[in-house]
Structure 1
């Protein structure tokens, strides 16, 4: 369910296990620590994990980046390179520190740097090139001509269900590869934050259910909100199918109105549904929404690998 960019290419995934998308290994390379990096326009979060199955946090650092200008943070297409250039410049400097050397790196890209589209099911498409063209068409319909140049990935979905697709500026992917290569590390795993949030929230809900903390199980749907500084992703799920995926330049106090807006646009009544809050950044405050059942989640440290996290879309 977690698409990733493991090499540089301008095409969509073809579903080949030897291609750009593949399953994550159950454990990292024996004897090597793992370096997880969350890249956001305003900060970097670097976490070094070691030990068996990379279960131990060896060190972590949060590096603040100079605030980009508001003109760079619009919703109309991938932002200008400057919104991520400052972060990557700082990352290149940070990777010179011995604390982050000789690791297997994994990068998670902020929702500020990725664009998403919910791809409707289309039974008339059979060949991979037809499916790829349809995904590209959906992105250009949503974001205009700039989307024709983006590197796109599609998350797998069940038969007859809509799929979540991600788009990233290829220049950002190339810059990340170069940044780690200069530090003597090969970057093979780049993930969009939204998909990590979906997977981690699902796992944490399953664990809570196993402990008897089931929450509102009678509702036919749920709202998932992924929070970052100045960015909120709102996902609506009904009968275990995604019905709406929207990202907004907004702060947390706007969340109730955003959920209501997106539900109306999707033709849904989300008022009875529980709201799942995923806080992407360390130390994020808890959220309160009057009249709504809330479940709070945050990133998993260390990252828990399970089969199927990076399956390819056929």
Structure 2
């Protein structure tokens, strides 16, 4: 048995890229296709190499493959299945019947606030589970990028968090230990210039401070400077600007 077999394999999936990371090295797989399902054949072939064998796999999903929602406040404590039902109902209101076929995860919050939910296509998740099981992985976690990246925020976080990867920007607003606002949209290489206007627009719909702290977490997009704007207190979370694309998500 390899001395590395107890170490988890970190897998990151993003449009057109799958990245593998373990203590022995890295590998990036690419395709011209952009869907999550298109990455599975590449991953299946790569995992036949014993260099990537392990009992544990930690899969990080790009924001492109995840749908987030903040529900209305339930107003009372809910059981876990009731929380999942509320998140699923909120997703269906936005995305229609398509959301019926999604796997839902819930971040619980006090009942006077909404629940934060994340969803991924159920058929894709099942195929990924089955693929990893065929390659000997017995302990598998599949998590949205945001749920992992949020661990790098300050403990007393209050303000806005811009989570940026290639082609997508997620914007989360929080205070007093709870998430109160979220938004997300496709972006191009000029996203940092547009960020102040985006925050100003979203702030008009929130109760967060008018002059907030904004934490920027830019993964796999190269070096980033804070915006030239005085409508917020800008902070940069540490990142390796030399690591690009899905490999940056794997290393978060």
Q: Deviations over 1:218-260 (max 9, x none)?
A: xx93110111111110011134332211111113233223222
Name the structure 1 match of 2:206: 266
Q: Are the equivalent residues in 2 in contact too, given 1:151–1:168 (CA < 8 A)?
A: yes
Q: TM-score, normalised by structure 1?
A: 0.66
Q: Residue 232 and residue 124 in structure 1: after superposition, are their counterparts in 2 closer, same or farther (change >3 A)?
A: same
Q: Deviations over 1:12-33 (max 9, x none)?
A: xxxxxxxxxxxxxxxxxx9612
Q: Per-residue deviation at 1:85?
A: 1.9
Name the structure 2 match of 1:44: 18
Instruction: Tell me which of 54, 67, 70 is aligned to 1:115.
Output: 67
Ranges in structure 2 where 5+ consecutive residues have no aligned partner: 240-247
Q: Per-residue deviation at 1:189?
A: 0.9
Name the structure 2 match of 1:237: 174
The alignment covers a number of residue pairs equal to 236
Distance in 2 separating the partners of 1:241 and 1:296: 20
Q: Per-residue deviation at 1:146?
A: 1.0
Distance in 1 separating the partners of 2:70 and 2:134: 36
Q: Residue 266 and residue 110 in structure 1: after superposition, are their counterparts in 2 closer, same or farther (change >3 A)?
A: same
Instruction: Tell me which of 14, 21, 28 is aligned to 1:62.
Output: 28
Q: In proportion to residue count, which structure has more strand?
A: 2
Q: Per-residue deviation at 1:276?
A: 1.0
Q: Residue 240 and residue 96 in structure 1: after superposition, are their counterparts in 2 closer, same or farther (change >3 A)?
A: same
For the residue of structure 2 that corresponds to 1:261, the secondary structure is: helix
Ranges in structure 1 where 5+ consecutive residues have no aligned partner: 1-29, 49-56, 69-82, 207-216, 304-314
Q: TM-score, normalised by structure 2?
A: 0.81
For the residue of structure 1 that corresponds to 2:136, the secondary structure is: coil
Q: Residue 61 and residue 243 in structure 1: after superposition, are their counterparts in 2 closer, same or farther (change >3 A)?
A: same
Q: Are the equivalent residues in 2 in contact too, given 1:37–1:105 (CA < 8 A)?
A: yes
Distance in 2 separating the partners of 1:302 and 1:150: 26
Are 1:285 and 2:237 counterparts? no
Q: Per-residue deviation at 1:290?
A: 1.1
Are 1:180 and 2:154 counterparts? no
Greater relative contact order structure (CA < 8 Å, 6+ sep): 1
Name the structure 2 match of 1:295: 236
